[in-house]
Amino acid sequence: MSVFKKINVLDFSNGPAGGLTSMIMADFGASVIKIEPPKGDSFRKMPSSLTWLRGKKSIVINLNDPIEYKKILPLIKEADVVITSSRPKNEKILKIDKKSIRSINSQIIHCSITGFERKGNLSNIPGFEGLIAAKSGYMMTFEGTVDRKGPVYSSVLLATHAASQIALQSITAALINKHKTGLGESIETSLLRGMIPIDTAGLFITQIRDRMKNSLPKATDPEFGMLPALGYHPIPTKDGKWIQLAGLVSHLFHSFIEVTKLQHIYNDLELIDPRDMNPEAKLRLAKIIASKTITKTSADWMKLFIENGNVAAEEWKSTLQSMDHSQVIHNKDVWTYNDKFYGKIKQLGPIAHFSKTHSKHPGRSPLINEHAGYFWKSKKLNSNNKTIKNISNAPLSGTTFIEFASIIAAPYSATILGELGARIIKVEPIEGDNFRVGANPGTGKQIKGLGSIKTTSNKESICLNLKTKEGIKIAHQLIKKANGMLHNYRPGVTERLSIDWKTVRKLNPNIVYVSAWGYGKNGPHSHRPTAAPGVGAAMGGPLKQLGGKLPSVYKKDIDKSIEMARIINAANPGSSDYNASHMIANATLIGLYEQALSGNGQEIDCNMLAANAYANFEHFIDFPNISKNKSVDKNLYGLGTLYRLYKAKKGWIFLAINTQKDWSKFLSILQNQIILNKNILKKIPVNIQQIKNIHSLILEKIFITTDANSWEQIMSKQDIGCVQADENLPGPFWYSDNHVKINSLVIKKKNPLWKNILRHETLSHFESYPKRAGEQSSAGEQTDIILKELKYSQKKINDLHISRIVDTHTDR
């Protein structure tokens, strides 16, 4: 069944952030009307608009015209959900803000996606991806991918994708709550909040370094070097291609050593453990590995790795090439359909695979104003929608969810559910989640697991030995009482642990059972391990980050090949995990909404490849005569004169202007700059349409006259998109930036290991339920409490501890 088939969505958003949100709702049956300005959505020129506009109806209404505005009033009355993406100031002017919309329909769910939140000088500048990535320090994380210092343009629309998925998570949670209470909701998120997930430990590392200034390594310590962990190393091959290793844990690296027949390295005690190796030993082993891997082609190595089944590795590909990945094809994660205007189109498929709540391609994208005059049929009020007043619980209050997952992708998806109010019980191995003891760059060997604060907050924890009958019995008792459960084991493991779908549905027929696979439930790669770097390389985002071209392999100069590996590694961040987290969370929420409507449970299969296809939505599309997206310049500054990085007198700025109005204001501001030679401005066209790449040379001369911070202050006062791009890395940005503080995007929370710690705020703000950011639990902290809920006596609990069936830790 199509879970959103009775939901009307009125989409006022411009571009893919809101577009992807309503697209997925359309895929699951929602009736989506897109309200466009007279010239249509300004992002329609993106080839991917054929994806995120699919299945919608287009109506042009000039919201600035009072008479035209009246046309939306009947639509608002029949809408269940409204999505906007205007700047806060414009939203009010256009009367599509929460107050205006909900005064017409109080039961509506209003979701606003801004760029920079609602307070501060940056709140009303354009919410372009480049501006958010620059200001939040993300562009600084790519320093080293090109032969110059300073920030590097970030090519993947990470904040856009994240904001779209956060909006969908929030809307679906609000729909679940509305089904229970009849209450509408006002939700706010932003592209800036979309950057929160990928800061795994930066905020925590920064503040711990600040607390312990005299007892931690300096920032220039070798641990800050660019040579990746060997399990995550890009390796060169004989035919000039690169393979990305993705073995986070030691045994996967040792499988790689076995396949490459390099076991002789174990004669050197310094080379035995890839996770505990000094920089000199790491470099030495990297050279040994590279010398070996250039003896075979990429295809030869991949054949061996796949046959072994325990080597995490993927060949570097473009996003377009990723559509032909054998596992992507097997999973049916590419939808193909014939469009009468564009021919055969290949594009994003389903977000996940559901046993009951199926999605389907909702049809082609509409022409501008193709559905002028269209109107929804009047809906009778549902008897379930009797409004219950004075509700103070969070949207998922009353939902219990069991997590059998470790590291990042799946656990963080459960964190998202916890932030939305679900009770999350994290079932950890007897020693705790491995991520709790993972190393952190810049904190030395004595401090570990700071990244796990993000993945273990808003949860209760029980450490349980699932390799024992008693441990399995406890797990089954938890499952019987749950609304849903999640695991991220490889195929076959859940059967051995007796928590597979077949077993679980007998225990709890109405449960939402979510599998977070690396590759998929079955298929040519399903048996293989993977992790963020491998998925990233396979799906094309990192290659795009390098400007679309990989560095050469130097078969006769291993040192140079190792240097190229450093560059490649710098372009492959850990964002693939969080891209997956968003999709797992959304698939789960859709399952929970179906459960709320019908009482039905079901099996849901998610995989990291499909999730990261969504993150690369801009290029995950192909059709005849497709126009090329703008490509980044060779210095990786940006996409053109008015959307790129510029060197300032001190620091760097990122400029983003795409309208004549903003361009005219920009030129007017420059005219008032005393420091500038006004003759230079005469060389710049007044008409934005006449701007060419050559004009960037003039802007370079202008921006070099003043410090980056000053440019940001001058331009933001006039709502022009110009921000400093090199002030901070992400960790220090979240820790100390004034805009973060003004918008309360970090909050202080108690912590079992650090007494208290600053953590990021939730990914969205609900007007009715503002306080949802919870605390971290230590491994097994609630073990005894949970067992008592299951009616275990204290004596029995003590016995379980003694026999190591359960455990509690205070050091992780």
pLDDT at 255 (0 to 100): 95
Strand partners, 8: 31
pLDDT at 674 (0 to 100): 66
The answer to whether 263 and 292 are in contact (CB under 8 A) is no
Q: Residue 784: enclosing H or E segment and its boundaries?
A: helix 783-789
The answer to whether 3 and 590 are in contact (CB under 8 A) is yes
CA distance 460 to 342: 51
The answer to whether 279 and 227 are in contact (CB under 8 A) is yes
Q: Residue 308: enclosing H or E segment and its boundaries?
A: helix 298-308
pLDDT at 271 (0 to 100): 87
Whole-prediction pTM value? 0.96
Q: HSE, CB side, 13 Å, CA atoms: give it for residue 73.
A: 8
Tell me the average confidence (pLDDT) per consecutive run of 10 residues in the chain, 812 residues long: 93 98 98 98 97 98 96 97 96 96 97 97 96 98 93 98 99 97 96 97 92 70 52 93 91 94 92 81 93 97 96 97 98 96 97 95 97 88 51 86 97 98 97 88 79 95 97 98 97 96 98 98 96 96 95 92 92 94 98 97 98 98 90 95 98 98 95 78 93 96 96 96 97 97 95 93 92 88 97 96 95 90
Centroid of chain to Cα 291: 36
CA distance 553 to 562: 9
Tell how strand 313-315 and strand 242-245 pair up: antiparallel
Cβ neighbour number for residue 35 with a 10 Å cutoff: 23
Fold that domain 640-729 belongs to in CATH: formyl-coa transferase, domain 3 (3.30.1540)
CA distance 113 to 166: 9
Tell how strand 484-487 and strand 512-517 pair up: parallel
Q: HSE, CB side, 13 Å, CA atoms: give it for residue 325.
A: 33
Which CATH superfamily includes the segment(s) 8-125+156-190? Crotonobetainyl-coa:carnitine coa-transferase; domain 1 (3.40.50.10540)
Q: Which amino acid is at 74?
A: P
CA distance 243 to 314: 6
CA distance 445 to 434: 15
Alpha-carbon distance values, 424 to 323, 461, 697, 698 (Å): 35, 8, 54, 56
CA distance 73 to 63: 11
Place of tokens 């912590």: 751
CA distance 807 to 803: 9
Q: Where are the domains of the chain?
A: 8-125+156-190, 215-317+542-572, 640-729
pLDDT at 679 (0 to 100): 82
Tell how strand 643-647 and strand 638-640 pair up: antiparallel
Cβ neighbour number for residue 691 with a 10 Å cutoff: 18
Centroid of chain to Cα 356: 26
CA distance 86 to 352: 30
Cβ neighbours for 559, distance < 8 A, ≥ 6 positions apart? 287
Query: SS3 for 685-729, per residue?
Result: CCCHHHCCHHHHHHHHHHHCCCCHHHHHHHHHCCCCEEEECCCCC
Helix (H, G, I), strand (E, B) or coil at 277: coil
Assigned token pair, 131: 């501006």
